[in-house]
Amino acid sequence: MKKPELLAPAGDLERLKMAVIYGADAVYLGGERFGLRAGAKNFNIEQLKQGLEFAHKRGKKVYVTLNIIPHNEDFKGLREYIKDLYNMEVDAVIVSDPGVFSIVKDAAPDFEIHLSTQANTTNYHTANYWYKQGVKRIVVARELSLNEIKEIIDKTPDDLEIEAFVHGAMCISYSGRCLLSNYMIFRDANRGECAHPCRWKYYIMEEKRPGEYFPVFEDERGTYIFNSKDLCMLKHIPELINAGISSFKIEGRMKSAYYVATVVRSYRMVIDKYLADPENYVYNDKWLDEIKKASHRDFTTGFYFGKPTSEDQVYGSSSYIRTYDFTGLILEYDKDSKIATVQQRNRMFVGDEIEIFGPNKKHFTQIIEDMWDENGERIEVAPHPQQIIKMKINQPVEPWDIIRKLRKE
């Protein structure tokens, strides 16, 4: 049984570190150009060097996206950028366009190349074609069933890796190749500037085809007909592993560090639990309950077990479900005094009940009894973003552990 890679998104340096610490085997990220997430903070060269050093020191890999669908002017500077990435020892680049692919092969012939889901690979013939061109890994289209993915794995060379999305937002367009954003507000989704109009509120009127109705549920607020539930395959990790998928990909370079830590942690626990003793493995809903403490929509299994139906869409709202706030990040802990140094992320009050969790450990709850500011003055509330405070925490904690609290209505 092959151990799959757990691959996490990294929208900036903090999220890269969070993903690595909370159990990701690899991260994928974008530079300041040539990727599909212009809205993420992304990495300049210096930040990328820091991220590579942090990940490689811990035995983790870093993949950089070059997956735009480029126009002629988009190639300016690409060759030099590819050489820079290769010389920095980036582990692989993710491409979708044959033109970009050809430049990578010419500029850095030994560079590992992963084929993006944007290339829409849906069959083993196409996978074999790209393998012969020198692609090391294929990120299959999200529109495939698990049986189709398994057939691709069975009918391609053993050293061709297959990566598949297991968690995150689902794009309404085919493997993310969308014209809607460009058409409506001139922001090209295929060049990194998607405005997510699929999440907007719509009314539909069909005046020339009476009697034909779209499967739309509508109230006085309109309807969100393109608004898919989020993909979540946490319950089906054994099936994915046994199918031979090489890499389990979590979507979300636009998501928060707290989201990355929470989701990666749950998938890490489930994967490790199953691989430790497959015959006696029993799924526990507590792992999914942990994921639900991060911002999310309702969940679906996407195309894995059949084509999505109306049950896989959210018709009433495009908003996320948020039940917990990320309120603090542990920086230091003194075991003798039980005093933690904390970087505040959302307001906390003395008397609040908080939960604290970290990688490879169960969460625990306690009441905030005392807090002090940087000057040692006792405070009742930590109101300032990223304020450094101290508080008493009764159980041992470590740097990068996270404090959260239940949101009040």
pLDDT digits (tens, 9 = 90+) for 267-321: 999 999 999 999 999 999 999 999 999 988 788 898 899 876 656 555 455 556 7
Phi-psi region of 382 (alpha: psi -120 to 50; beta: other; left: phi over 0): beta
| Residues contacting residue 277 through CB under 8 Å, at least 6 positions apart | none
Global pTM? Answer: 0.85
What is 202-260 written as a DSSP string?
B-----SSTT---S---BTTBB-TT-BPEEE-GGGHHHHHHHT-SEEEEP-TTS-HHHH
pLDDT of 254 reads 82
| Residues contacting residue 301 through CB under 8 Å, at least 6 positions apart | 231, 232, 233, 236
pLDDT of 298 reads 82
Say yes or no to pLDDT of 77 above 70: yes
For the segment 49-55, the average pLDDT, to the nearest whole number, is 97
CA distance 264 to 120: 26
What average pLDDT does the structure give for the chain? Answer: 87
pLDDT of 181 reads 62
User: Can you list the alpha helix ranges (DSSP code H) found in 6-59?
Assistant: 13-21, 45-57
pLDDT of 195 reads 64
Share of the chain above pLDDT 90, in %: 68
Say yes or no to pLDDT of 68 above 90: no
pLDDT of 207 reads 65
Query: Per this entry, what is the length of the chain?
Result: 409
For the segment 236-250, the average pLDDT, to the nearest whole number, is 97
CA distance 116 to 90: 16
The CA-to-CA distance between both ends of the chain, in Å, stands at 46
369-385 pLDDT, tens per residue? 999 999 999 999 998 88
pLDDT of 319 reads 57
CA distance 29 to 94: 10
Banded model confidence at residue 324, pLDDT cuts 50, 70, 90:
very high
Q: What pairing do the DSSP bridges indicate for beta strands 371-372 and 230-232?
A: unpaired
pLDDT of 31 reads 86
Q: How far is CA 246 from CA 11, 161, 261, in A?
A: 23, 6, 21
Taking a C-beta distance cutoff of 8 angstroms, is the pair 381, 350 a contact? yes
Q: Could you tell me the two tokens for 324?
A: 């917990």
3-state secondary structure at position 136: coil
Cβ contacts of 68-71, under 8 Å, gap ≥ 24: 68/34, 68/35, 68/36, 68/96, 68/97, 68/100, 68/190, 68/191, 68/192, 69/96, 69/97, 69/118, 69/177, 69/190, 69/191, 70/34, 70/97, 70/99, 70/100, 70/191, 71/191
Say yes or no to pLDDT of 22 above 80: yes
pLDDT of 49 reads 96
Q: How far is CA 252 from CA 16, 219, 398, in A?
A: 12, 30, 26
C-alpha angle 315-321-325 in degrees, rounded to nearest 5: 165
132-155 pLDDT, tens per residue? 999 999 999 998 999 999 999 999
CA distance 244 to 161: 9
Least confident of 108-112, 141-145, 222-226, 343-347: 222-226
Say yes or no to pLDDT of 206 above 70: no
CA distance 241 to 239: 6
100-134 pLDDT, tens per residue? 999 999 999 999 999 999 899 999 999 999 999 99
Taking a C-beta distance cutoff of 8 angstroms, is the pair 145, 302 a contact? no
CA distance 312 to 224: 12
Q: Which residue has the higher pLDDT, 181 or 230?
A: 230
pLDDT of 89 reads 97
Say yes or no to pLDDT of 396 above 90: yes
Share of the chain above pLDDT 70, in %: 81
Owner of token pair 């604290």: 356
Domains of the chain: 5-174+227-312 (3.20.20.380), 324-406 (2.40.30.10)
Taking a C-beta distance cutoff of 8 angstroms, is the pair 264, 8 a contact? yes
pLDDT of 296 reads 81
Nearest to 215 by CA among 150, 312, 301, 296: 312
pLDDT of 314 reads 57
